[in-house]
């Protein structure tokens, strides 16, 4: 490094001293500090090349490159944080939707279970009513059949009674006629006896 280069380097260092002091006051790896470092590094690299100070140029390029990398890292971190927040929001929404779907599914299952229960009850009632109607119809049929049998038996008994009465009348007709004749003969005999007694009394007088 020649004298001119040294002088230029010293003058440039004095000129950038205020920026260096400002840079130290900025927060580490803040966006503003990284932008300032990038600007300073770029200027250092250009000035180093102009005054032919390779060390200054190397430091400037290194500072500019470091600031650029950190800026990109900061951007990536912000993007990752934003994506993380978005993913958290999406996850929350997904969980809420899943919970809502689960609640809807449970309500639907409950509703279907209640409907099935009602249908089963209706089917049981219908089966019971059908069985009762069938039993009632069977009982009525048995009663009608019993009444018909009783009527038939009563008719047969009446026919038998009439037949017995007719046969009895036939069998008792001759003895009755004989009895009636005997009674008539006895009455006639009694009449004749009374007549004879009367005549006898008249003859004695």
pLDDT digits (tens, 9 = 90+) for 2-24: 565 666 666 667 767 776 776 67
pLDDT on residue 4: 52
CA distance linking residue 144 with residue 147, whole number of Å: 5
* Predicted confidence (pLDDT) at residue 1 exceeds the cutoff of 60: no
Q: Is residue 150 part of a domain?
A: no
What's the start-to-end Cα distance of the chain, in Å?
A: 223
Question: Is 80 exceeded by the pLDDT of residue 41?
Answer: yes
Residue 168 lies in a domain: no
Comparing 26 with 126, the larger pLDDT belongs to: 126
Q: Rounded to whole angstroms, how far apart are CA atoms 47 and 12?
A: 8
Query: Would 28 be classed as within a structural domain?
Result: yes
Q: Is 37 exposed, middle or buried (0-12, 13-18, 19+ CB in 10 A)?
A: buried
CB 54 within 8 A of CB 10: no
Q: Is residue 185 part of a domain?
A: no
Please report whether residue 101 resides in a domain. no
Residue 108 lies in a domain: no
Number of independent structural domains in the chain: 1
Does any domain span residue 45? yes
Asked if the structure places residue 81 within a domain, the reply is yes
> Between 89 and 74, where is the model more confident?
89
For residue 72, the enclosing domain spans 3-88
Mean pLDDT computed over 176-191: 82
Whose CA is closest to 39, among 58, 27, 21, 23? 23
Question: For residues 112 and 126, what is the distance between their CA atoms, to the nearest angstrom?
Answer: 21
Query: What is the model's pLDDT at position 54?
Result: 84
Q: What's the distance, CA 195 to chain centroid?
A: 119
């Amino acid at each position: 490094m020649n004298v001119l280069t040294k002088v230029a380097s010293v003058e440039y260092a004095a000129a950038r001293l205020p920026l260096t002091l400002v840079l130290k006051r900025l927060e580490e790896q803040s966006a503003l500090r990284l932008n300032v470092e990038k600007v300073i590094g770029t200027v250092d690299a250009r000035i180093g090349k102009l005054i032919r100070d390779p060390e200054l140029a190397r430091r400037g390029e290194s500072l500019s490159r470091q600031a650029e990398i950190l800026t990109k890292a900061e951007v990536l971190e912000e993007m990752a944080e934003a994506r993380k927040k978005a993913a958290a929001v999406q996850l929350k929404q997904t969980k809420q939707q899943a919970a809502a779907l689960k609640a809807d599914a449970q309500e639907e299952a409950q509703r279907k279970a209640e409907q099935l229960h009602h249908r089963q009850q209706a089917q049981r009632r219908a089966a019971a009513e059908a069985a009762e109607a069938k039993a009632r119809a069977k009982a009525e049929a048995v009663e009608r059949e019993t009444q018909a049998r009783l009527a038939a038996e009563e008719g047969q008994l009446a026919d038998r009674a009439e037949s017995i009465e007719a046969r009895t009348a036939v069998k008792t007709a001759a003895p009755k006629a004989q009895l009636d004749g005997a009674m008539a003969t006895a009455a006639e005999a009694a009449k004749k006896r009374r007549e004879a007694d009367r005549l006898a009394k008249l003859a004695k007088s």
